[in-house]
């Protein structure tokens, strides 16, 4: 295992300390509660957004705390759900009186613990709307979830719903926007290698040279099948087919195309893949109108990529374009 760490059991706490040191103008870290909070939270009269999940997917979620996205994030141990006490502490820290939206990836631990935290928050008089993200078309049910997994659409929902909250939408409206993103987005991922959780010190799975795992999750879960690694053109075609056949967008639809590195794929290769994805979409009569390319929802150092496609409308496009200032995303400010 070749990793830059001290004690594997302290990696999340030490990483959060480094995040706060690097981005103290945007966020603060409550080390006791193990939560990341927007520097100017709570914002009175503004709906707040909270998300979270296991560490190892950075910059998700802590890297998306700030103007125009999340108000707080609660990271668990690597690939392990945060506990309800973290989620409740995050909710309390950012409630400005207008309520809080919980954006919850569809993994069993996340769903259960956010539900418990929402119930406790309600007992304190905090209005909470929970939105489930379940955009992965690769598998139905898995080691971690009942139903489809929540993956790349999480980033898009955090940005777009965050912009809705920033412009002053009420609790129900912000939650409705997030649900619309989830309904209109689909994702699919492939892996060229496993990742190595720091506490385990060994890969989750073995993948022979020349093969790829098709339809993986973000925790190193196996996918639909293994097959020979093809060209970037071949891989893009397979990813686009999986996503578009399920999404079934309208003819000529404008799309937000999110080509994501799983952590170990360099930008050089990722842009090759993205170019092939755009060509495949255009060949289907679709219109890439917005793009996001980079490592935004990762699986430690896994080599591989995922594709998320969101069918845009005018409002979703405008909310995507709205200013954002976080450690992981910044434009318009």
Catalytic annotation, residues: 57, 219
90 within 8 A of 50, measured Cβ to Cβ? yes
Which residues are bridge partners to 38 per DSSP? Answer: 27
Q: Give 221's Cβ-side CA count (13 Å radius).
A: 24
H or E stretch covering 298: none
Q: Read off the tokens for 30.
A: 């409550």
Judge if the upstream peptide bond of residue 172 is cis by omega within 30 degrees of 0: no
Q: Please name which of 176, 47, 53 lies closest in space to residue 113, comparing C-alpha atoms.
A: 53
- Is the distance from CB of 219 to CB of 136 less than 8 angstroms? no
Residue in the block written with tokens 């998306």:
64
Tally of CB atoms within 10 A around 284:
13
Burial letters 18-33, b for 16+ CB under 10 A, else e: ebbeebeebbbbbeeb
Q: State which H helix or E strand residue 26 sits in.
A: none
Task: Show Cβ contacts of residue 305 under 8 Å, excluding neighbours closer than 6 positions.
Answer: 189, 190, 235, 239, 259, 260, 261, 262, 265, 270, 273
């Amino acid at each position: 295992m070749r990793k830059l760490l001290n004690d594997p059991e302290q990696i999340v706490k030490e990483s959060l300390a480094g995040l706060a040191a690097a981005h103290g103008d945007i966020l603060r870290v409550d080390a006791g509660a193990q939560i990341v909070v927007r520097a100017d939270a709570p914002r009175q009269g503004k709906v707040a957004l909270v998300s979270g999940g296991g560490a190892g997917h950075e910059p998700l979620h802590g890297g998306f705390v700030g103007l125009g996205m999340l108000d707080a994030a609660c990271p668990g141990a690597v690939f392990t759900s945060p506990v309800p006490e973290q989620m409740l502490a995050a909710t309390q820290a950012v409630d400005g009186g207008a309520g809080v939206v919980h954006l919850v990836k569809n993994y069993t631990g996340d769903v259960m613990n956010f539900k418990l935290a929402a119930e406790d928050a309600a007992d304190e008089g905090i209005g909470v709307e929970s939105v489930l993200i379940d955009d992965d078309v690769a598998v139905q049910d898995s080691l971690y979830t009942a139903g489809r997994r929540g993956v790349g659409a999480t980033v898009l929902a955090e940005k777009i719903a965050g912009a809705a909250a920033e412009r002053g939408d009420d609790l129900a409206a912000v939650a409705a926007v997030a649900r619309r993103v989830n309904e209109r987005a689909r994702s699919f991922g492939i892996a060229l290698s496993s990742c190595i959780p720091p506490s385990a010190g060994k890969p989750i799975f073995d993948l022979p040279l020349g093969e790829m795992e098709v339809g993986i999750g973000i925790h190193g879960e196996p996918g639909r099948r293994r097959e020979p690694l093809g060209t970037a053109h071949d891989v893009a075609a397979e990813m686009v087919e999986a996503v578009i056949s399920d999404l079934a967008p309208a003819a000529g639809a404008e799309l937000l195309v999110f080509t994501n590195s799983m952590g170990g794929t360099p930008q050089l290769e990722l842009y090759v893949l993205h170019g092939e994805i755009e060509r495949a979409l255009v060949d289907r009569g679709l219109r890439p109108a917005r793009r996001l390319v980079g490592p935004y929802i990762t699986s430690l150092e896994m080599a591989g990529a995922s594709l998320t496609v969101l069918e845009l409308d005018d409002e979703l496009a405008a909310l995507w374009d709205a200013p954002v200032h976080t450690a992981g995303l910044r434009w318009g400010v």
